[in-house]
Amino acid sequence: MVVPDPIPANDPGTAPRVATSPPVQPAETSPPVQPAETSPPEQPALDLPPELPTLELALSPEAAAALARHPAFHALHRQGRRAASVEITWHDTPEAELARQHQALSVERGIWRLERLAPADEIWPPATPAPALAEAPNIATLPQEMPATLPLASFSGRRQVLAGDTPAGPVTATLLTGTLRAFAGEAQACRLRLHGPGPALRALGLSLAETLPVGPPGASLAAEAQALARGTHPSPPRRGPPEVAEGATTEAALAGIVAHLVAVVLGWAPDVAGGQVPEAVHQMRVGVRRLRSALAVFGPLFDPFALAATKAMLKDLACQLAPARDWHVFLAETLPPAIAAFPDEPRLAALMSAARRRRHAAYGTLHAWMAGPGWRAMEIELACFGALAPWRENADPARLEQLAGPAAGFATLVLGRRTRGMLRAGADFAALSPSDMHEVRKRGKKLRYAAECFAADFPPRKHRRFVEKLADLQQELGQVNDAASVAALLADLPPSIGRGWAAGALTGFIAARRARVLRRAGEAWERFGRAEPFWD
């Protein structure tokens, strides 16, 4: 396995550096300027304490219509309900100059707003509103000079605002329903924004997800409008590993890594749920592994009881994804060399057919689970984990001091500890059992995921060499683990005539290569042992 080349900076899927400061807050603006000839109805508005978080969810028009009848929403009617019509128009140049800068320009009731279209330097967790860069009553007064633009797309609909008390605290709910329109077509769009204390947002979101298809949006409303205008699909907000910005605090590193990896996991989910897409399952699974590794790295900064439920949830998600991925690897990588060695053996061909049926069934099970309330609840939990800063729950002064410290110092301690643990686990490498080698491989994955994040504060060449040697070792240890993985998969197949012979032939074929595989793994281990730590 090699480390991929960096993605160009203008690619929407670029892994952005984690910000060293909190998300950009909307700029203070003058009261909306009303064009006299239109006189639109007054916008519904309620005072929203800025220090409280906002959770944004997407839902279908049918779910939006059923929202008012949901028991969890009854309490929100006690303080009144306000509604008004909404008209938003997005602008850009014909050459999509603003979109290339990951920006969206819109106007609503005479107020011009410039916001992020894709994550950049700020921390932008999934299921939270797009960071506002500027707002002004006149396009000429925006702090950034705007190019000559044309209307690109529009949204027409209604905004309803409700507020009330819930068992976990007061919540303000803003429901936006309507139609996106562009020359290329139109589409229904619904958004629900919940504003209030974190525990109240989480409880209300989970309650809604039990019976309604609600979840984190795959893109902001502006991104959906731009995609509709250009006849494309919104680009995934994040891909690949996160990267901590140079000089970041430990809390900024933690917040950015969690926000990035939650976005990766949620971003691949539609492809996984929509069809048999092996790469989507693989990337979503890698995102889950990276997130679990990050929680192990930053675990001491969390309340242990609060973190336990999240760890259990991610383990469950990994288990849901594993069968489809394992059967794909078996069919794409493990079985073909044996069939190539015995091209005319019908029993191996029958084994491949049985494995294909098993993979198809694994995908079916995964799709059924992702269509139900279990995955909807997990989406809400993941979004809340990224957006609500759970590491601050029950934080004492000592933990807050750690969070305020430099990420580079924290990384040095973590990477040194993980490397020493891995070297101890593989000290007598040639004598390790298969299970011991698998343990070394797991430790290597965790070390690599941590090393990928903390690069900006260290020499790039030393970092690259270390990660490359670690990746090579992982690749070779994966080959060593094939025999154990294959035995577990074969045991999952129903017995049939010739199945035993085929299973034995495949196991023997893998065993025949074991000496060569072990030699290559030993060589990779020696190279890793000589690797210079990039954090020293």
Query: What is the reported pLDDT for 70?
Result: 87
Rounded Cα gap, residues 497 and 166, in angstroms: 62
Tokens of 106: 């819109």
Query: What is the reported pLDDT for 235?
Result: 83
Is residue 328 within 8 Å of 312, Cβ to Cβ? no
Question: What is the number of other CB atoms lying within 10 angstroms of the CB of residue 429?
Answer: 18
Query: What is the reported pLDDT for 79?
Result: 61
Tokens of 179: 């139609």
Query: What is the reported pLDDT for 158?
Result: 96
What is the mean pLDDT of the segment spanning 45-51? 46
Which of 8-22, 310-324, 512-526 is predicted with the least confidence, judged by mean pLDDT? Answer: 8-22
Which of 20-34, 188-202, 256-270, 280-294 is predicted with the least confidence, judged by mean pLDDT? Answer: 20-34
Asked whether residue 121 carries a pLDDT value surpassing 80, the answer given is no
User: CB neighbours of 93 closer than 8 A, spacing ≥ 6?
Assistant: 147, 148, 149, 150
> Was domain 17-22+50-237 assigned CATH 2.40.320?
yes
Nearest to 191 by CA among 155, 165, 227, 166: 155
What is the mean pLDDT of the segment spanning 294-320? 92
Nearest to 190 by CA among 165, 170, 208: 208
Tokens of 256: 């950015």
User: CB neighbours of 336 closer than 8 A, spacing ≥ 6?
Assistant: none
Query: What is the reported pLDDT for 17?
Result: 41
Which of 36-40, 266-270, 495-499 is predicted with the least confidence, judged by mean pLDDT? Answer: 36-40
On average, the pLDDT of the chain sits at 86
What is the mean pLDDT of the segment spanning 384-408? 91
Q: Do domains 17-22+50-237 and 280-529 have the same CATH topology?
A: no
DSSP state letters, 101-114: TTEEEEEETTEEEE
Query: Domain locations in the chain?
Result: 17-22+50-237, 280-529
Nearest to 91 by CA among 106, 81, 103: 106
What is the mean pLDDT of the segment spanning 45-57? 68
Query: What is the reported pLDDT for 237?
Result: 80
Give φ, ψ of 267 to 5 degrees.
-70, -30
* Cα four-point dihedral sign 336, 342, 344, 349: negative
What is the mean pLDDT of the segment spanning 66-84? 78
Which of 69-83, 412-426, 470-484 is predicted with the least confidence, judged by mean pLDDT? Answer: 69-83
Rounded Cα gap, residues 61 and 81, in angstroms: 19
280-529 topology per CATH: CHAD domain (1.40.20)
How many residues can be counted in the chain? Answer: 536
Predicted confidence (pLDDT) per residue in 257-305, tens digit: 999 999 999 999 999 998 878 999 999 999 999 999 999 999 999 988 8
